[in-house]
Amino acid sequence: MTRPTPPEAPTDLPDGFKMTALGPLPAYWQVVRLGEVAETKSGGTPDRKRDEYFGGQIPWVKSGELRDAAIEFTEESLTELGLLNSSARIFPKGTLLVAMYGATTGKVGLLKINAATNQAVCAIFPHKEMSSEYLFYTFIRRRDELLTERYGGAQPNISQTVLKNFPIPLPPLPEQRAIAHVLRAVQRAQEASERVIAALRELKRSLMRHLSTYGPVPLDRAAQVPLQETELGPLPAHWRVVRLGEVVEILDHIRIPLNEKERQRRKGIYPYCGANGILDFIDDYLFDGEFVLLAEDEGYWGACEQSAYIMQGKFWVNNHAHVLKGIPDKLDNWFLMHVLHWMDISMFISGTTRGKLSQGVMRNLPIPLPPLSEQREIARILQAVDRGLAAEEAQVRAAQELFRSLLHQLMSARRQLPASFVARVRQEEPRVSV
């Protein structure tokens, strides 16, 4: 039998590129082993039975804390005695850390503080020709390749030897810094949006507490609202507490589940909905209008969790979501959705391995019922916050996608930064970034 010949290296490389072990790269880039451009050291864990070794002032990083992000604080700390009685040592800020085993194997962290590490973490100290921040992004970009080098049984791991032999693309230092600068800027934009999201979620929780207790009145008028004690806690005196089944139409009998094979055969434009949102798009619909979908099983039912969502237009629903429609002169759909988010429904869930909100239990859920005009005003206020959240969440998704794209393109040199930009970053960041 004739052996197949190995594929030849492509001859149509772009001008100024060469073929390397890592694929086409600019001719002036190098491919090196990590051990050629960095030193590696691991940490250690003092005796867990000795209380006097823990709770000191020395930050101590464990492998589970490496999440492809900067490390500014740690879950635990060592005492001077604990550091002395272990193989741990203090590593300076700017040190790159790599998890060598455990659930986070291959994940990295960049120290922004002086800290010690445990034995499951390898500290990497680049030589002067290598930026630790560039190396940080290199490991994120090429983690899948690194993980192919794992060995061992139930808990595969990597070693310092594996790390030292790992091939690294090495552009000149100014270009490394410029690449890291761009990727860091995208990550910071994402982090800024995440902080806004956290603030908006806290604002929404605060608003819901106020609105569910006093109604849609300004804060300075809350004390003037007469209250009543109810099974749901204090409510405005003119509100009622009703059972959900009294004020909604339940349309579960129309639902039809479709398995994945059926959905593949019936691809189309209409949303196919489940407990927590849209799962697919198919060629037909069961519902047309505005409805509240409340998770029947596999849902999130805790206080301030997304137990329900609104669907509008034409769509299909499987048997994992209850389909509700507020009776028009009694209950606003958007108000109902926000009430369900605010309530802690988890106490009504049956089952252990797979929780379920049965229709009988759902019908008897107690909910507050303000006058319809107040329902709509409460919904309007909360929807405004939700629109802000949706906009910031879209920004986060866009930043994540941009980061993934730039990480791939810049690290493979499919996109190269202009020389003028590299020079500007070199001028602004004359020292190696940490």
Return the pLDDT at 44: 86
Confidence of residue 43 (pLDDT cuts 50, 70, 90): confident
Model confidence over 374-429: pLDDT tens digits? 999 999 999 999 999 999 999 999 999 999 999 999 999 999 999 999 999 988 76
Give the phi and the psi of residue 5 in degrees, each rounded to 5: -85, 140
- pLDDT at position 11 is 58
Residues 191-207 have a mean pLDDT of 96
CA distance 393 to 406: 20
Question: Which of 174, 80, 63 lies closest to 118, judged by CA?
Answer: 63
Mean pLDDT of the region 236-249: 97
Condensed to tens digits (0 to 9), the pLDDT of residues 248-266 reads 999 999 999 999 999 999 9
Contact 61, 107 (CB under 8 A): no
Calculate what percentage of the chain has a pLDDT beyond 70: 95
2 φ/ψ angles, rounded to the nearest 5 degrees: -80, 130
Phi, psi at 100, each rounded to 5° = -95, -20
Q: Which residue has the tokens 């604990």?
A: 82
- Find the Cα–Cα–Cα–Cα dihedral 332, 336, 342, 348, rounded to 10°: 160
Q: What is the pLDDT of residue 2?
A: 44
Closest CA to 291 of 241, 262, 342, 255: 255
Chain-centroid distance, C-alpha 430: 33
Residue 25: phi and psi, rounded to 5, are -140, 160
Residue by residue, DSSP assigns 5-32 as PPPPPPS-PPTTEEEETTEEEETT-EEE
Which of 72, 118, 112 lies closest to 95 in space, CA to CA? Answer: 112
Is residue 131 a contact partner of residue 177, using CB atoms and an 8 Å limit? yes
Q: How high is the pLDDT of residue 3? A: 45
- Across the range 71-92, mean pLDDT stands at 90
pLDDT > 90 fraction of the chain, expressed in percent and rounded: 83
What confidence score (pLDDT) does residue 10 get? 55
Averaged pLDDT of the chain = 92
82-135 pLDDT, tens digit per residue, is: 888 888 789 999 999 999 988 899 999 999 999 999 899 999 999 999 999 999
In the chain, the amino acid numbered 316 is W
Reference 222, options 205, 235, 231, 233; nearest CA is 235
Question: What pLDDT sits at residue 152?
Answer: 76
pLDDT value, residue 312? 98
> Could you give the residue ranges of the DSSP H alpha helices within 76-122?
80-84
The two beta strands, 76-78 and 54-61, are antiparallel
Average pLDDT over residues 57-82: 92
Whole-number pLDDT of residue 62: 92
pLDDT at 88: 79
User: For residues 89 and 164, which has the higher predicted lDDT (pLDDT)?
Assistant: 164
Amino acid occupying residue 393: E
Place of tokens 């229709």: 359
Amino acid identity for residue 385 in this structure: V
Gap between the Cα atoms of 382 and 390, Å rounded: 12
Is the C-alpha dihedral spanning 185, 187, 188, 192 positive or negative? positive
Is pLDDT at 204 greater than 90 in this prediction? yes
List Cα–Cα distances, 340 to 295, 336, 362, in angstroms.
Answer: 10, 6, 11
* Residue 41 pLDDT: 92
CA distance 208 to 44: 47
Report DSSP letters for 271-328, one per residue: EEEETTEEEEEES--SEEEEEEEEESBS---STTS--EEEEEEEEEE-TTEEEEEE-T
CA–CA distance, 107 with 104 (Å, rounded to integer): 5
CA angle 331, 247, 302 (to 5 degrees): 80
Asked if the model's pLDDT at residue 217 lies above 90, the reply is yes
Strands 308-317 and 267-274, by their bridges, are parallel
